[in-house]
Amino acid sequence: MQILWSYVAFGVLTLMAALTVAGGAPAALTSASAAVGID
């Protein structure tokens, strides 16, 4: 389970970074909230 969380955290950070670079900071925050809410 800890490995899963590592992948989830890495994925969220990568997604946020990509969306921020693309100018989508609000979308990144929404995605992060959704990811955290899954588990």
Contacts 24+ apart (CB under 8 A), 6-13: 8/35, 8/39, 11/35, 12/36
d(C-alpha 22, C-alpha 39), whole Å: 27
pLDDT per residue over 1-39, tens digit each? 789 989 999 999 998 888 777 665 565 566 666 666 555
| The predicted structure's pLDDT at residue 21 | 75
Q: What is the pTM of this model?
A: 0.47
Q: How many domains does the chain have?
A: 1
| The predicted structure's pLDDT at residue 18 | 81
| The predicted structure's pLDDT at residue 15 | 86
Q: Which two tokens stand for residue 32?
A: 């992060």
Domain range enclosing 10: 2-38
| The predicted structure's pLDDT at residue 9 | 92
| The predicted structure's pLDDT at residue 13 | 92
